[in-house]
Amino acid sequence: MEPIPAGSSPADDKVEHYELGLCLSGGGYRAMLFHAGVLCRLNEAGLLQKIDMVSSVSGGSIAAGLLAVLWPRLSFADGVATNFRELYVEKILAFSQVFLDAPSILKGVFNPFSSAAREVATCYERHLFDGKVPTLKSLTRRPWFVFCSSNLSTGSLFRMSNRYIADYRIGMAKHADLPVATAVAASSAFPPFLSPLRLDLTQFAWENDKLDASVGPPVPAGRAVLTDGGVYDNHGIEPALKRCRWLLVSDAGAPWRASGSGYWNWFSQLKRVLDTTDNQVRSLRRRDLIARFQAAKDADDQGLPNDATRP
């Protein structure tokens, strides 16, 4: 764990900064359970209570969603949540036994008024949140939980939190009253069967904040077509990178394996090409993050300010 260089651009000056951030990657149920173990260790080390921001993707958002809802009920003593195992771990282990993919897909196919992603959100409410419908607005201010999805309409990251929902091609809608289960379902809408989750953006009041003018004019806030957050950033790093001085990244992505297959048919060849592209994108993000860590460390060793290390 090394300090991240602080932002030096005018846009960064408007961003609220934090001391410690945690990023939870995608990877389905495997990632969800992996992150549960990581959270256990952070709690044992007295670091869980010190986390200021949690940015999550896909399976990481399932783990983060439950943590966000249960956070006010955690009892901390000497920096350790004494009821973390019984309150959080046992619940996440029980949820891991719930098979929701196939039923959600079938209901989404045969119900013209629903979709697989919407059915998954219903399952999250029923099995993860005990039939309750917590909203993003009800979550704690600290830690700040950000759930990441990929907007196929704009090709950019779609962020959902208790402060705002945002897309840098559309803008920002502050204090959007969105169910946590919907945010988690959008973040974990693995394509093509559990994706997309279509979200009507006209129900929110949008502002032209967080727009990137370099990519063209603003996109009207119509409908977001959301798929798995891992399509854009499988590590969930993007929202936290310029905000947190210290960053912990829990990477539960599947390891890349060599294959002896000849890939004689088009479908297996196409899948391998897509997997290779995805693996390369993830590798580049990891490489960039590690380079930032090293740059910050070198700056500290030489007594330079961290912002001097930003490319």
Which pLDDT value is given to residue 8? 35
41-73 b/e (C-beta count within 10 Å ≥ 16 → b): ebbeeebbeebbbbbbbbbbbbbbbbbbbbbee
pTM to 2 decimal places = 0.86
The label of the residue with tokens 């896909």 reads 58
Which pLDDT value is given to residue 210? 62
User: 10 Å Cβ neighbour count for 74?
Assistant: 17
Alpha-carbon gap, residue 246 to 292, rounded angstroms: 11
User: 10 Å Cβ neighbour count for 278?
Assistant: 15
Alpha-carbon gap, residue 114 to 144, rounded angstroms: 30
Which pLDDT value is given to residue 9? 36
Q: Kindly write down the DSSP assignment for every residue of 142-159, as one continuous string.
A: SSEEEEEEEETTTTEEEE
Closest C-alpha among 70, 1, 5 to residue 250: 1
pLDDT averaged per 10 residues in sequence order, the chain, 311 residues: 44 70 94 97 97 97 98 96 97 93 80 88 95 94 97 94 93 92 96 90 85 68 92 92 91 79 80 78 80 79 61 38
List of residues 6+ apart from 218 with CB closer than 8 A = 169, 170, 171, 208, 211
Which pLDDT value is given to residue 228? 94
The label of the residue with tokens 């009507």 reads 200
Alpha-carbon gap, residue 53 to 206, rounded angstroms: 24
Closest C-alpha among 158, 306, 164, 311 to residue 246: 306
Alpha-carbon gap, residue 221 to 176, rounded angstroms: 14
Amino acid present at 99: F
Helices 180-187 and 116-123 cross at an angle (nearest 10°) of 130
Which pLDDT value is given to residue 51? 98
Residue 153 domain flag: yes
Question: CB of 54 within 8 A of CB of 250?
Answer: no
Which pLDDT value is given to residue 310? 43
Residue 123 domain flag: yes
Residue 58 domain flag: yes
List of residues 6+ apart from 221 with CB closer than 8 A = 170, 171, 173, 201, 202, 204, 206
Residues spanned by the domain of 118: 10-260
Residue 14 domain flag: yes
In the DSSP assignment, the letter for residue 76 is E
Residue 155 domain flag: yes
Total number of domains in the chain: 1
Which pLDDT value is given to residue 262? 77
Residue 136 domain flag: yes
Which pLDDT value is given to residue 10? 34
Which pLDDT value is given to residue 265? 84
Residue 108 domain flag: yes
Helices (H) and strands (E) counted in the chain, each on its own, are 11, 12
- Angle in degrees, CA 137, 143, 144, rounded to 5: 50
Which pLDDT value is given to residue 54? 98
Residue 306 domain flag: no
